[in-house]
Amino acid sequence: MRETAARRSGERRGRPMVDRPRYAAYEAVAAVHRDDAYANLVLPAILTDAGLFGRDAAFATELTYGTLRHLGTLDAILTDAAGRDVQRIDPPVRDALRIGAYQLLHTRVPAHAAVSSTVDLVRAVGQGATGFANAVLREVATRDLDEWVTRLAPSIDSDPVGHLALAYSHPQWIVRAFNEALGGDFGETTRLLIEDNERPPVHLCARPGLVDPVDLADEVGGAPGAFSPYAVYLAGGAPGELAAVADGRAHVQDEGSQLVANALALAPVDGPDGRWLDLCAGPGGKSGLLGALAAQRDARLTAVEVAEHRARLVAGATRGLPVTVLNTDGRLVGTEPKLPEEHFDRVLVDAPCTGLGSLRRRPESRWRRQPSDLSALTRLQRELLAAGLRAARPGGLVAYVTCSPHTVETHVTVTEAARRSGVPVDFVDARTVLPAGMPGLGDGPTVQLWPHRHGTDAMFLALLRRT
Ligand SMILES: C[S@@+](CC[C@H](N)C(=O)[O-])C[C@H]1O[C@@H](n2cnc3c(N)ncnc32)[C@H](O)[C@@H]1O
């Protein structure tokens, strides 16, 4: 594809005639759809390969992420404008049109530039479709986004889920799940959907005992966080290049993730408190924070991760901290000698989940996830939580965490796992171990954080004490 483009443009091999940021965005979006790639993994290499940095890289990134986030709405509009189902358009042309429609409806790129650059792109990637692309995009340009939504979405009164799904580009089942977790409040659901379409902030965790968050904020030109005592908000830039991250004083971690890990460490336990367990540790964000806290309190963290490459990431993320990494299945509590029953004082079960609480960070994931994913995931969640409960000693604490607010993965899993495990537990009110005065934490005893309320990922936390 790239060679064809290069030949046609008469330019250097592999470099198409279209401007490089748009071509880079096209390559990323096409890789996501063609190869099931993840945008955040493929895009950096594409930008480097194309020699893009600064404003050009930012523009390519916005086109990529924006197009993927708004895909549902863009496809509905393109279907109407083309007079045929977008799924029947040749995939390269379809992806180019999506990027063009995104520019027309979501950016300040002048319409003529959005249309002509997309026609160039189509010339480079899709044989003979330039006239079609030109006509479709001219039709898209006849209305602004609000007018398209009015034309295509069902009315909010007759079908609120359908309306919000089209207006804010989320699958209907996800809108329904969010609305249920928000108690049926469609106004709040709308605010959440809007937030999901924004560029997420980057948060650092200033590792306790290793760097003071105010000093770190000064060092990196950021600001101390609103809620987590370890959070620093970054204004922009590449966090991986920061000295504090490179030398292990800090790591990149959403503030909500910091809060739930810290909550487990803060909740009081009677008796010994030296044996901590993270049963689902990869890639090691929460183990990094818990390991730093364990170092301050003479405790040791056992970090379990079933996937070998992720276990290696945990080892890297916890180097220098009192952490033992075990590459094994967390469900083997009671069978694996290093995971005895009734042994640990604090246990974190940060279970695999749909990730619906961090859609801001993974622009394509809302379209990939399916309701059918839930049954295998919730079974695994129940089994891991039951194992975590068995691992805790009487009087010990278990934190169950997901980065999903789907009630089937949160309340249903906790209730069912506790009931089926036969391990006697009491709920601890998780609000008591979150910052005093933090708004919007609900009635307890569990806590659900939200992007639109707290600026964090939608982390869920249940704290259970083994009786
Ligand atoms: C939500 S992620 C954990 C994120 C991690 N706590 C952090 O803060 O970086 C869930 C992890 O559980 C791992 N996992 C899945 N099944 C597991 C099992 N049976 N035993 C242990 N780990 C498992 C996954 O590979 C994944 O790395």
Verify that 364 and 220 share a domain, yes or no: no
Identify the active-site residue in 403, 414, 423, 464: 403
Residue 143: per-residue pLDDT: 98
SS (H, E, C) the chain: CHHHHHHHHCCCCCCCCCCHHHHHHHHHHHHHHHHCCCHHHHHHHHHHHCCCCHHHHHHHHHHHHHHHHCHHHHHHHHHHHHCCCHHHCCHHHHHHHHHHHHHHHHCCCCHHHHHHHHHHHHHHHCCCCHHHHHHHHHHHCCCCHHHHHHHHCCCCCCCHHHHHHHHCCCCHHHHHHHHHHCCCCHHHHHHHHHHHCCCCCEEEEECCCCCCHHHHHHHHCCEECCCCCCEEEECCCCHHHCHHHHCCCEEECCHHHHHHHHHHHHCCCCCCCCEEEECCCCCCHHHHHHHHHHHHCCCEEEEECCCHHHHHHHHHHCCCCCEEEECCCHHHECCECCCCCCCEEEEEEECCCCCHHHCCCCCCHHHHCCCCHHHHHHHHHHHHHHHHHHHEEEEEEEEEEECCCCCHHHHHHHHHHHHHHCCCEEEECHHHHCCCCCCCCCCCCCEECCHHHHCCCCCEEEEEEEC
ipTM field: 1.00
Place of tokens 């919000």: 164
Verify that 177 and 241 share a domain, yes or no: no
Verify that 82 and 116 share a domain, yes or no: yes
If 0-12 CB within 10 Å is exposed, 13-18 middle and 19+ buried, where does residue 199 land? middle
Verify that 88 and 210 share a domain, yes or no: no
Verify that 458 and 318 share a domain, yes or no: yes
Verify that 21 and 115 share a domain, yes or no: yes
Confirm whether residue 405 is marked as ligand binding: no
Point out the ligand 1 atom lying closest to the alpha carbon of residue 284: 9
CA of 331 to the centre of ligand 1 (A): 11
Q: Does 444 reside within a domain?
A: yes
Q: Does 156 reside within a domain?
A: no
Q: Does 31 reside within a domain?
A: yes
Verify that 177 and 220 share a domain, yes or no: no
Q: How many domains does the chain have?
A: 4
Rounded to whole angstroms, the Cα distance separating 380 from 382 reads 5
Residue 8: per-residue pLDDT: 34
Cα distances from 385 to residues 118, 295, 329, 357, 464, in angstroms, run 50, 25, 13, 19, 10
213 lines ligand 1 (CB under 6 A): no
CA of 315 to the centre of ligand 1 (A): 14
409 lines ligand 1 (CB under 6 A): no
Given 181, 196, 211, which residue is the final one in a domain?
A: 196
* pLDDT tens sequence for the chain (467 residues): 333 333 333 344 444 478 999 999 999 999 999 999 999 999 999 999 999 999 999 999 999 999 999 999 999 999 999 999 999 999 999 999 999 999 999 999 999 999 999 999 999 998 789 999 999 999 999 999 999 999 999 999 999 999 999 999 999 999 999 999 999 999 999 999 999 999 999 999 999 999 999 999 999 999 999 999 999 999 877 888 899 999 999 999 999 999 999 999 999 999 999 999 999 999 999 999 999 999 999 999 999 999 999 999 999 999 999 999 999 999 999 999 999 999 999 999 999 999 999 999 999 999 999 999 999 999 999 999 999 999 999 999 999 999 999 999 999 999 999 999 999 999 999 999 999 999 999 999 999 999 999 999 999 999 999 99
Rounded to whole angstroms, the Cα distance separating 72 from 76 reads 6
Q: Does 122 reside within a domain?
A: yes
Confirm whether residue 280 is marked as ligand binding: yes
Verify that 59 and 206 share a domain, yes or no: no
Rounded to whole angstroms, the Cα distance separating 136 from 384 reads 50
Verify that 242 and 134 share a domain, yes or no: no
403 included as an active-site residue: yes
Rounded to whole angstroms, the Cα distance separating 385 from 404 reads 15
Verify that 450 and 305 share a domain, yes or no: yes
Residue 240: per-residue pLDDT: 83
Verify that 461 and 391 share a domain, yes or no: yes
CA of 178 to the centre of ligand 1 (A): 23
CA of 311 to the centre of ligand 1 (A): 9
Residue 340: per-residue pLDDT: 98
pTM reported for the whole predicted model:
0.95
Verify that 334 and 428 share a domain, yes or no: yes
Confirm whether residue 205 is marked as ligand binding: no
Q: What is the DSSP pairing of strand 223-224 with strand 231-234? A: antiparallel
Task: For residue 55, give the CATH number of its domain.
Answer: 1.10.940.10
The pair of three-digit structure tokens given for residue 344, joined into one six-digit string: 């640990």
- Domain of 101, in residue numbers: 2-140
- Is-contact 298 275, C-beta < 8 A? no
- With the most atoms of ligand 1 within 8 angstroms of its CB, the residue from 228, 278, 305 to mutate is 305
